[in-house]
Structure 1
Amino acid sequence: MKAIVIGGGIGGLTAALALLDQGIEVEVYEQAHELKEIGAGLQIAANASRVLTRLGLGPELERLGVAVHAIVMRDLHSDRPVHSLPVERSDATPEAMTARFDGTFYQLHRPDLLGMLADAVPAGVTRLGEKATGFVDDGAGVTVTFESGHRTRGDLLIGADGIHSRVRGQLLGETEPEFSRIVAWRALIPREKLAHLDLEQDCHVWLGPNRSGVAYWVHGGELLNFVGMVPADETAAESWTTQGDLAQMRRSFAGSNARLQAILDEIESPFITGYYYRYPLAEWSRGRVALLGDAAHPMHPFLAQGACQAIEDAAVLAHTLASHLADGDVPAALAEYQTRRIPRAARVQNASRTQEPVWHMSDPREIVQRNRTLASLSELDPDAKTLYGWVFSYDVEAEAAKPLRDPSAVLRREEARRAWTMWATLLRPKDLDRQHHGIREAYDRFLLHNFPPDPTVSVEDSPVDGRTHLRVTAPDGAGGPTLLHFHGGGYLLGSAAGSVGLASRLARETGGSVVVPDYRLAPEHPYPAAVEDAVASYDALLGRGVDPATILISGESAGGGLAVALAMRLRDLGRPMPAGIVAMCPMGDLAVTGESVDTAAGVDPISTRTFLTQMATSYLQGSNPRAPLASPVYGDYQGLPPLLIQVGENEALYSDATRMADAARRDGVEVELDAYPDTVHVFHMFDFLPESTAALERTAKFAGRVTALRP
């Protein structure tokens, strides 16, 4: 098998090494007349350094790279710490490296990395000064032509020729990349000029309004790499090599803290980088041609994963081609490469892009919310395994060796797989761009489109304290029970309007009415805002003359946890208690310690450890994650009314549900726990699932028993 690689950058040369390591012949073509990189830095996290080490570059990485201890984020103006992400071992505690990400996080001078790759590729493999003009895939092989008149033929072609890839243009059609509207001032400063500064062997990040500064050591610690990201309208240049105006750069960072100013003072000749990106592609390969690196997935710099993802591509490409050496089915190998890589690279692309508004917040209130959220994150995730482990701990070769399968096949039944896919595809890339604002809109769109209200029920708004309270009443349901139902969404998402579909089915089954209140959401309104609003909603029902003996409080997901927390709060306030509680797939532990969070990884497509932690910390913002009104698994259940808990056996919050049931039994509360196999989180919403109908029928029977009001 012979591979032709267009592009002699980091991705192309890593691909050459990986392919050669598998016994595959390689030719690399680079249009430049010499292999060189712009004099700047990059970061090679553990997910990529493991690949390079396996390819024999470990000693060179140790010699020329700088092993990072932590990524330390500070306020750009005050220099006060905002967040610290431990990514590597320190000299004092080498065991910490294995405990975190099983690999070294290196900071490198780009020319150093390119040089070590070029030196490792055998002589004669790379041809310089050859600009590809086109290719022909005739089904039996690929022929590539060059401006020089040279032609070559191989079994496959890999386009590793960057964001403006000619291979990509011919393969998928010419489209312009997106301009991020961010440019970066870049410079390298010799160590001797900064001897007076206390700059540890960390990655230093300064977060400021609409801008940020990053500094870290490269080239064996002899050079400090500085990157200052600012809005593009502050400078006209957008190229990789344009020399910038020194005075203009300093104006961009006027008012910065003393350490950052001292770094800026030592810069003599900055240059400017414009950042371009693409949204994730639906395909990377056709026939015998595939893309790799920036040709496939150019991304924002905020996770420092651009080069890392190209290195991962190279490892998976080599693995999949090697697995097809016996049958020689190159198109099948490239299709497998694409299938394995697109979900991973797309997730990294999306996460990298959506970090920009977090770094560059300008609203003082949002900055306070962000910093409080990061403080909670430091408590819940001190080793950064949750927030960044999915990036840095990813073992690309182990993942490449796993059998390919439809991800939804973790569930047995066709209708359950349909629900799984609906959850998995809820968010589109552009929904993520506006952080929680965009995710909220996407979540409501998902609910309103897929789960409209039953047309036979009536819906009216009965506001409380200016908040929407939708009363959904079944036909002839005036004499039935009243359910005060709280929507889910991790205290970050959801609305009364979005929950009307489920509420209407609840009303039909119970023969009564369901009141769905809006409650204040995080991060704008942190804990205990939701509990306070829940109490006000309950009090409003009592104020309208509703007999508490006819009321049940219920909720799904975070709303299920909120329903139990409300009952605890009502008891402590001495309020009349409701007749019962219904918790559907409850989120009851904001410390995210449930065993099922990890055992359901890959099975539950929506309640991932990362997402649960992000939602919890956005709500907590420094509050105790084990406070009972935030996390009722830790609460006292004495004096609570009968409790019905319903949960899917293979969802991430299964442990939350079972622990809440155990705590209730411990405290003498009547509790029923219904566990449903082979289903998804909040299966109650999916009206085509038989377990949804069964669960709502059980809820109706429970409501009729505890209120003595029959449907």
Structure 2
Amino acid sequence: MSTTGTVAIAGAGIAGFAAAASFAQRGFDVTVYERSQDPREFGAGIYLKDNSLPVLDALGVYDHIAAAGSKIDTASITDERGEVIVRRDVSRERLIVVLRAELHNALRDAATAAGVKLVTGKTVTGASADGVLRFDDRTEVSADVVIGADGVYSTVRESLGLTKSYRYLPDGATRVLIKRDGEGPEGREYWSGNRRVGVAPCGPELAYVFLIGPESNPRCGALPLDKDYWNEAFPNLGHVFDRIEPDSGVHHRHQEVTCLRWASGRVAIIGDAAHAQPPNFGQGAGLSIAAAYELARTVADGRSSADVPAQLANWESRFRPAADKVQRYTTWYSNAGYYWPRPALGLRSKFFHTLSVTPATAHWWEFWWRGGVEAPATYLSND
């Protein structure tokens, strides 16, 4: 396609800026529209694996992310008996935990350096398949490619009738940052019934903590954190909870989005708009970054602007199966991991340990830590 192609993106989050940088570095004229005046990423830490890290390499931001974050060498799960039921050596993989804000800012800087224009205070209300993005002030813009990176409540997705299902899940997560105190290069997860706590280093001074449990119990998602509740469930983690500041943390109920299609005419959706999922594998952002890069590559390799609808369909047919597989696995992980009666928790531990060491199923864990990419970076092989 000619490098004079235009791209309009709804949403200035991680997915939106990843798409913006990916297209702009290929010579496209890109504009990102964002409803807030000051786009920022809310949350704490984020896991980056071998589906997104090759993209960050290609976009020129990997070195910054690697320096700002922490490389994880081992990953483990400890059950309520204090027994380690899963331990994986991931030292030969690139697995990094970094602040969400660091990732967001790095992608924003890459996009800006490539010439992307950011328009803030502009609320998107929908799109049409011929490449038109509409706003609440009754204005609209046309582009060769329109991208909906506008989150789980995507108005772009809804306006095009792409939603297959949307649902709240029965659990949610609180995410916080604490000062590091002995956290080494290991991602640790602890189970206690239907609750989980994860702890991982997140840069030279901070550690990332997530606390997951049932939304039916208001103490589980309370902010400030109900330390008595969590200490009762995880008495061995008092040294972690003591470092959580009263005014820190965000809490979100988990949601899941599935779509009839990811593309309609000249419009594509990416990120949570396309595949919102529970964060069991830490792969929402990673899939978004990989999908954005592959989308830009596919369109850039097209012969002309007239081919855009076919290019978007081709992108979806090649990339979506891996994303759907990750989404299925992460939902299965919730169902298989949480909802066991207390007398059966020992059996649960044995079940997951067996899965992790049996050759026929151990590859599931490799799939998890690689981030849903069976052969890392294969989608970059033709770049």
8 Å CA contact 2:51–2:377 kept in 1: the answer is no
CA distance in 1 between counterparts of 2:211 and 2:220 reads 14
Structure 2 counterpart of 1:267, one-letter code? I
**Correspondent of 1:44 among 41, 48, 52:** 48
1:264 is aligned to 241
CA distance in 2 between counterparts of 1:71 and 1:253 reads 23
8 Å CA contact 1:315–1:397 kept in 2: the answer is no
CA distance in 2 between counterparts of 1:319 and 1:250 reads 50
Q: CA deviation at 1:291?
A: 0.7
Pairing of 1:266-665 with structure 2 (within 5 A): 266-269=243-246, 270-278=249-257, 280-326=258-304, 328-364=306-342, 366-381=344-359, 385-389=363-367, 392=370, 393-395=373-375, 398-399=378-379
1:211 is aligned to 195
8 Å CA contact 1:8–1:28 kept in 2: the answer is yes
SS of the aligned residue for 2:88 comes to strand
Relative to structure 1, the CA distance from residue 382 to residue 284 in structure 2 (aligned partners, 3 Å threshold; closer, same or farther) is closer
**Correspondent of 1:231 among 203, 208, 214:** 214
SS of the aligned residue for 2:216 comes to helix
Q: CA deviation at 1:388?
A: 2.2
Superposed CA deviations along residues 647-667 of structure 1, whole A, max 9, x for unmatched, are xxxxxxxxxxxxxxxxxxxxx
8 Å CA contact 1:230–1:252 kept in 2: the answer is no
Structure 2 counterpart of 1:20, one-letter code? A
CA distance in 2 between counterparts of 1:341 and 1:145 reads 27
CA distance in 2 between counterparts of 1:236 and 1:149 reads 43
Asked which structure has the greater RCO (Cα within 8 Å, sep 6+), the reply is 2
Confirm whether residue 14 of structure 1 aligns to residue 6 of structure 2.
no
CA distance in 2 between counterparts of 1:213 and 1:237 reads 12
Q: CA deviation at 1:379?
A: 3.8
CA distance in 2 between counterparts of 1:383 and 1:339 reads 26
1:121 is aligned to 111
Confirm whether residue 221 of structure 1 aligns to residue 204 of structure 2.
yes
CA distance in 2 between counterparts of 1:237 and 1:78 reads 21
CA distance in 2 between counterparts of 1:124 and 1:55 reads 14
1:427 is aligned to none
1:576 is aligned to none
The structure richer in strand per residue is 2
**Correspondent of 1:86 among 86, 89, 106:** 89
Q: CA deviation at 1:189?
A: 1.2
8 Å CA contact 2:34–2:119 kept in 1: the answer is yes
Relative to structure 1, the CA distance from residue 401 to residue 263 in structure 2 (aligned partners, 3 Å threshold; closer, same or farther) is closer
SS of the aligned residue for 2:320 comes to helix
Confirm whether residue 188 of structure 1 aligns to residue 166 of structure 2.
no
Q: CA deviation at 1:365?
A: 5.5
Aligned-residue Cα RMSD (Å) equals 2.6
CA distance in 1 between counterparts of 2:120 and 2:358 reads 51
1:135 is aligned to 127
CA distance in 2 between counterparts of 1:167 and 1:74 reads 42
Q: CA deviation at 1:289?
A: 1.0
- What percent of counterpart residues are identical? 26
SS of the aligned residue for 1:36 comes to coil
**Unpaired segments of 5 or more residues in structure 2?**
none
Confirm whether residue 179 of structure 1 aligns to residue 168 of structure 2.
yes
CA distance in 2 between counterparts of 1:268 and 1:261 reads 13
Pairing of 1:242-261 with structure 2 (within 5 A): 244-247=223-226, 249-258=227-236, 260-261=237-238
8 Å CA contact 1:293–1:306 kept in 2: the answer is yes
Q: CA deviation at 1:377?
A: 4.2
Q: CA deviation at 1:266?
A: 2.1
Count of residues paired in the alignment: 372
Q: CA deviation at 1:157?
A: 0.7
8 Å CA contact 1:186–1:227 kept in 2: the answer is yes
Superposed CA deviations along residues 43-86 of structure 1, whole A, max 9, x for unmatched, are 111221111112111211111111111221112x4432111122
Normalised to the residue count of structure 1, the TM-score between the two structures is: 0.49
**Correspondent of 2:95 among 92, 95, 105:** 105
Superposed CA deviations along residues 590-625 of structure 1, whole A, max 9, x for unmatched, are xxxxxxxxxxxxxxxxxxxxxxxxxxxxxxxxxxxx
Structure with bigger gyration radius: 1
Structure 2 counterpart of 1:201, one-letter code? P
Relative to structure 1, the CA distance from residue 276 to residue 78 in structure 2 (aligned partners, 3 Å threshold; closer, same or farther) is same
Structure 2 counterpart of 1:203, one-letter code? G
Structure 1 counterpart of 2:256, one-letter code? Y
CA distance in 2 between counterparts of 1:316 and 1:271 reads 31
8 Å CA contact 1:47–1:395 kept in 2: the answer is no
Structure 1 counterpart of 2:284, one-letter code? G
8 Å CA contact 2:34–2:122 kept in 1: the answer is yes
Q: CA deviation at 1:126?
A: 1.8
Structure 2 counterpart of 1:168, one-letter code? R
SS of the aligned residue for 1:355 comes to helix
Moved more, 339-348 or 119-128: 119-128
8 Å CA contact 2:166–2:256 kept in 1: the answer is yes
CA distance in 2 between counterparts of 1:332 and 1:177 reads 27
CA distance in 2 between counterparts of 1:227 and 1:390 reads 18
